[in-house]
């Protein structure tokens, strides 16, 4: 048996890179091509494979060291099954993993809500968006894939929150001991699983498969519910005058086949409120340390379809008239119900409105459509007595429910936002200012 020095092969354009992870220990039996260390430049990270098979005798590097091509990594007692010579060219750009932790995520590229045409996850219940954005090396990704673990659900303990192999193992261990499925529950909360119940013992049943949209929506909502500290602020807006105007306009517009619902006014009022309170038009980056403030105003509208909920986005709502917004809502609602929405129709949202006003109910607590930080729920308006200082008078009141991410928005700002929104809706002349 001969001792072999394992060095860094040609790693392309990088003069010197920092070692951020050592993937083997002394005594390990490794095969040629097994990853030995992970190095990181300011743009990417990559794993350096071994050129030979054998037993690791001595590791010559430490985490934090800088290393370049030719640098000695370790001494290997080469085994008889030595494979091919090192192949520098085998460390390719495919081995690179984008370092996303210090970079802002690109919310507009994330489907803000489930898209019917979205690619199904190759591993059931693994969220492909968070998986791909997770900060982990190729071998850890492969390991997670093999175990069916959603990397996005793991908090990494490595540098810059990098997810390490041990984190994946710990996640699975914790999931198993807590009885939580590593894929379905999203976080190792140690929740006792529901027992499998045979409901047919109590009466007739029918089993219906969830639609693709139901399943995707479920994943998005579940993630948001578990990861966003939600607060919901309720209020009522006096829309008596707004409704009078809408009805009057409605008659005039009917001739041209245009229908304006309260939702179009609400979208305009939301845009005004987003301008007044810019934090509501933002997203937290993946590190949780930076807020990305947007200066465009794309408003998502939740649409109920027989197959489930979808959220098309009205782009640049600040530049559109009431009529244009109304037409777009109709168009999107029609396309959504005919399953004709494109993924791009559902991307780039800044803030979502979920209107149940056409159906009924008094108040509800909508779930924030991450990576957005707030969502407005609208319920059915109702004529009710309001005290004007000297007497009660009948006023048409619109119930509003504003849910927000408490990491980004304080309670006081939540109350200010909804009060401002109410003021805009109570006196729509203000929307012109």
Nearer to ligand CAO, 274 or 376 (CB): 376
Q: Give me the least distance between CB of 217 and ligand CAO, in Å please.
A: 8
Closest residue to ligand CAO, judged by C-beta, is 357
Q: Give me the least distance between CB of 302 and ligand CAO, in Å please.
A: 4
Residue 419 three-state SS: helix
Query: Residue 80: how many CB atoms within 10 A of its CB?
Result: 7
Tell me the C-alpha to C-alpha distance, in Å, between residue 83 and each of 51, 54, 86: 8, 10, 9
Q: Give me the least distance between CB of 335 and ligand CAO, in Å please.
A: 11
Determine the Cα–Cα distance for residues 368 and 228; give it in Å rounded to an integer: 8
Tell me the C-alpha to C-alpha distance, in Å, between residue 54 and each of 4, 26, 37, 165, 308: 9, 11, 16, 22, 55
Question: Is residue 96 within 8 Å of 45, Cβ to Cβ?
Answer: yes
Catalytic residue among 406, 419, 423, 428: 406
Q: Give me the least distance between CB of 326 and ligand CAO, in Å please.
A: 8
Determine the Cα–Cα distance for residues 354 and 374; give it in Å rounded to an integer: 11
Q: Give me the least distance between CB of 343 and ligand CAO, in Å please.
A: 19
Question: Is residue 127 within 8 Å of 150, Cβ to Cβ?
Answer: yes
Using CB atoms within 10 Å of the CB of residue 162, give its burial: 0 to 12 exposed, 13 to 18 middle, 19+ buried: buried
Nearer to ligand CAO, 101 or 354 (CB): 354
Q: Report the Cα–Cα distance between both ends of the chain, in Å, rounded.
A: 84
Phi-psi region of 253 (alpha: psi -120 to 50; beta: other; left: phi over 0): alpha
Determine the Cα–Cα distance for residues 277 and 44; give it in Å rounded to an integer: 36
| Helix H or strand E segment including 104 | none
- What pairing do the DSSP bridges indicate for beta strands 374-378 and 351-355? parallel
Nearer to ligand CAO, 288 or 361 (CB): 361
Nearer to ligand CAO, 99 or 253 (CB): 253
Q: Give me the least distance between CB of 361 and ligand CAO, in Å please.
A: 10
Nearer to ligand CAO, 97 or 398 (CB): 398
Nearer to ligand CAO, 134 or 326 (CB): 326
Binding site for ligand CAO (CB under 6 A): 261-263, 301-304, 309, 329, 333, 354-358, 366, 378, 380-381, 398
Active site residue 406: yes
Apex 239 CA angle, 271 and 415, nearest 5: 55
Known catalytic residues are: 406
């Amino acid at each position: 048996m001969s001792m072999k020095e394992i060095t860094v092969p040609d790693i392309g354009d990088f003069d010197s890179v920092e070692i951020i992870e050592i993937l083997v220990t002394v005594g390990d039996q490794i095969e040629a091509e097994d990853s030995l260390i992970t190095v990181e430049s300011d743009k990417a990270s990559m794993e350096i494979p071994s050129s030979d098979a054998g037993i690791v005798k001595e590791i010559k590097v430490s985490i934090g060291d800088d290393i370049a091509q030719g640098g000695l990594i370790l001494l290997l007692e080469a085994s008889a099954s030595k494979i091919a010579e090192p192949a520098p060219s085998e460390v390719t750009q495919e081995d690179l993993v984008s370092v996303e932790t210090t970079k802002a995520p690109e919310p507009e590229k994330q489907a803000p809500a489930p898209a019917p045409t979205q690619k199904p996850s190759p591993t059931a219940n693994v969220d492909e968006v968070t998986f791909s954005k997770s900060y982990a090396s190729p071998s850890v990704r492969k390991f997670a894939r093999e175990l069916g673990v959603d990397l996005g659900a793991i908090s990494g303990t490595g540098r810059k929150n990098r997810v390490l192999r041990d984190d994946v193992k710990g996640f699975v261990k914790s999931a198993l001991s807590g009885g939580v499925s590593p894929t379905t529950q999203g976080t190792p909360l140690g929740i006792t699983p529901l027992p499998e119940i045979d409901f047919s013992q109590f009466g007739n049943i029918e089993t219906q498969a969830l639609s693709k949209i139901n399943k995707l929506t479920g994943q998005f909502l579940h993630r948001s519910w578990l990861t966003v500290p939600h607060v919901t602020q309720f209020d009522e807006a006096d829309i008596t005058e707004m409704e009078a105007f809408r009805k009057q306009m409605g008659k005039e517009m009917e001739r041209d086949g245009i229908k304006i619902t309260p939702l179009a006014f609400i979208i305009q009022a939301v845009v005004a409120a987003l301008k007044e309170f810019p934090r509501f038009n933002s997203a937290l980056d993946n590190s949780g340390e930076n807020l990305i403030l947007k200066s465009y105003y794309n408003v998502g509208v939740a649409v109920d379809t027989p197959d489930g909920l979808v959220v098309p986005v009205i782009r640049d709502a600040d530049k559109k008239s009431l009529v244009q917004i109304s037409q777009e809502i109709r168009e999107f609602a029609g396309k959504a119900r005919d399953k004709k929405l494109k993924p791009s129709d559902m991307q780039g949202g800044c803030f979502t409105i979920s209107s149940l006003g056409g159906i009924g109910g008094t108040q509800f607590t909508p779930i924030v459509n991450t990576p957005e930080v707030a969502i407005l729920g609208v319920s059915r308006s109702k004529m009710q007595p309001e005290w004007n200082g000297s007497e009660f008078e009948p006023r048409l009141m619109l119930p509003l429910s504003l849910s927000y991410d408490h990491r980004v928005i304080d309670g006081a700002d939540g109350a200010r936002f909804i009060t401002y929104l109410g003021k805009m809706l109570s006196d729509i002349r203000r929307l012109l200012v």
